[in-house]
Amino acid sequence: MKTAVIVTTYNRPDALACVLEGYSHQSDQDFVLVVADDGSTDETAAVIRSFQRRGTVPLTHVWHEDQGFRAAAIRNRAVATTDAEYIVFTDGDCVPSRRFVEAHKSLAEAGYFLGSNRVLLGETLTKRVLREHLPIHQWGWTDWAGQWMKREVNRLLPLLRLPDWPFRKLAPNRWEGIKTCNLSVWRHDLARVNGLDEVYEGWGLEDSDLVIRLLHADVKHKSARFAAPVFHLWHPEQDRSSLPENRARLEVLLQSDRVRSVKGMDRYQAA
């Protein structure tokens, strides 16, 4: 199955380089990468060109002008550049575990989207990872346990690997806590709901909106926890001034049965 990994980024080239290194060493190399760039400067483009020259994994750079936080819009644009059957969403500060792509592909199932979780790195460890180019995508239990004992990671449980057992479908209507830093979905299901809703501008809840509309379309949640973690590099808290307005939008959606986004990916497909 043709798979595309959509990596969203904005002006954090050192973190993006660490993330792309992780994708260069995946156990399953049969996928394409699309960097969905929310208006970064040329320094980010230079990092991407460097990885393109290496040619480990096909890599496309999709950019739009910086007009504030518009993650929904750039993700929709990125999806429109590929004909992949299966889409994995993640972020440019989330380093994939070595079998991340393999796990999402192996757990993919008709009628379901996948949501997984992350391990949060502390500020000190993050600075070391970026400064010393530490290959955390290759770390094992011993490495992570040592960092946990130093309180430089928040938890170890996501590192457990469990097979595709029935527990993965125990919360089919769950939307809380599912984020586009670690989410995968069939392209035809994404098209049914018209992708992410670009009326969400500013940080917050555009991913929850997508998941709720997938549920409205009878696409159910399947857990990819204990199979496909990412390692989230520390950063200062985002500007949350748009959160109240976005939360109000989400509350309206929750009271409805609406499936399609108001302003979505069909704009790019038509073009």
Contact status, residue 109 vs residue 222, Cβ threshold 8 Å: yes
**pLDDT in tens for each of the 271 residues of the chain?**
999 999 999 999 999 999 999 999 999 999 999 999 999 999 999 999 999 999 889 999 999 999 999 999 999 999 999 999 999 999 999 999 999 999 999 999 999 999 999 999 999 999 999 999 999 999 999 999 999 999 999 999 999 999 999 999 999 999 999 999 999 999 999 999 999 999 999 888 999 999 999 999 999 999 999 999 999 999 988 778 888 999 999 999 999 999 999 999 999 975 4
Determine the pLDDT at residue 29. Answer: 96
d(CA 59, CA 196): 22
AA identity, residue 246? N
Q: Domain coordinates of the chain in residue numbers?
A: 3-270
Kindly report whether the global pTM for this prediction surpasses the value 0.85. yes
Cβ atoms < 10 Å from Cβ of 47: 24
Determine the pLDDT at residue 205. Answer: 94
The H or E element containing residue 132 is helix 123-132
Q: Which two tokens stand for residue 21?
A: 């290194």
The CATH superfamily assigned to 3-270 is Spore Coat Polysaccharide Biosynthesis Protein SpsA; Chain A (3.90.550.10)
Determine the pLDDT at residue 239. Answer: 79
